[in-house]
Amino acid sequence: MQDQIAARVRAALAPVLGDDALLELDEPRFQAEFGRRFGDHLGPVAAAGPRWSYPLRLVHAERYIDTRLVLVGDAAHGTSPQLGQGANLGLLDAHSLARSLAESGDVAGAMDLFARRRGPSNRFYRSASDLLTPFFQSDSVPLAILRDLVLRQACQTPFVRPMLTGVLAGLRRGWFSADSLDADGRYPL
């Protein structure tokens, strides 16, 4: 269990710190900075391996399909983490691919259907996540205050709250369109 926790922390730490200079700190200073930023929720934390970091980048393949090839998940689209949708979008890609294959008479038709179904939604999440980035990943106090005020209010506003839930459930297809779950609570892709 400790190993698992260590692995998760190791994976999460670098993008959150986001500053290569921090990776050069000696161990006590790094631990102090870690504690300052994360609090003591995890108890004592020991390094499980070398520190590393990587830039968070938006990537979106020009097309998801080619001859004997289909891209899903992060291979097709990597977003910034603001909406926490990376894994969700990958699962929806897989679900859509399976449905498209089941519904189409041939593989080529299924691939086209899959790309048409997932493209708009993935483009929306890429743009929305990008738009939110400065509100979550900057040192700007006004942006942070604005974010907290608007999101707190939005979560308590009757018409906005279900829309936000739909965003987090991966149901948006664009800024002005969204899917609904079907009568059995399943994704209608």
Tell me if 119 contacts ligand FAD by CB under 6 A: no
Should residue 109 be labelled a site residue for ligand FAD when binding is judged by CB under 6 A? Answer: no
Residue indicated by tokens 């149901």:
171
Q: Which stretch binds ligand FAD (CB under 6 A): 32-40, 78-86, 104-112, 167-175?
A: 78-86
Using CA atoms, how far apart are residues 4 and 109, in angstroms rounded to an integer?
Answer: 42
Q: For residue 176, what are its two tokens?
A: 């002005």
12 binds ligand FAD (CB under 6 A): yes
Q: Can residue 53 be called a binding residue for ligand FAD (CB under 6 A)?
A: no
DSSP lists the bridge partners of residue 69 as 66
**Residue 11 found at the interface with ligand FAD (CB under 6 A):** yes
Interface residue with ligand FAD among 82, 85, 100, 121 (CB under 6 A) is: 85
Kindly indicate which of the ranges 43-51, 81-89, 137-145, 173-181 contains the residues binding ligand FAD, using the contact rule CB under 6 A.
81-89
Task: Return the bridge partners of 65, or none.
Answer: 70
Distances (CA, A) of 121 to 40, 41, 90, 117, 184: 38, 35, 12, 8, 22
Interface residues for ligand FAD in 128-167 (CB under 6 A)?
Answer: none
β-pairing, 69-70 vs 65-66, is: antiparallel
SS3 135: helix
179 counts as binding ligand FAD under rule CB under 6 A = no
Q: Return the sign of the alpha-carbon dihedral for residues 18, 24, 25, 31.
A: positive
- When asked if residue 15 is in the footprint of ligand FAD (CB under 6 A), the reply is yes
Instruction: Say how many residues touch ligand FAD, by CB under 6 A.
Output: 13
Query: Toward ligand FAD, which CB reaches closer, 36 or 57?
Result: 57
Q: Please state, in angstroms and rounded to a whole number, the distance separating the CA atoms of residues 21 and 25.
A: 7
Structure tokens at 67: 């001859």
81 near ligand FAD, judged by CB under 6 A: yes
Binding site for ligand FAD (CB under 6 A): 11-12, 15, 73-75, 81, 84-88, 90
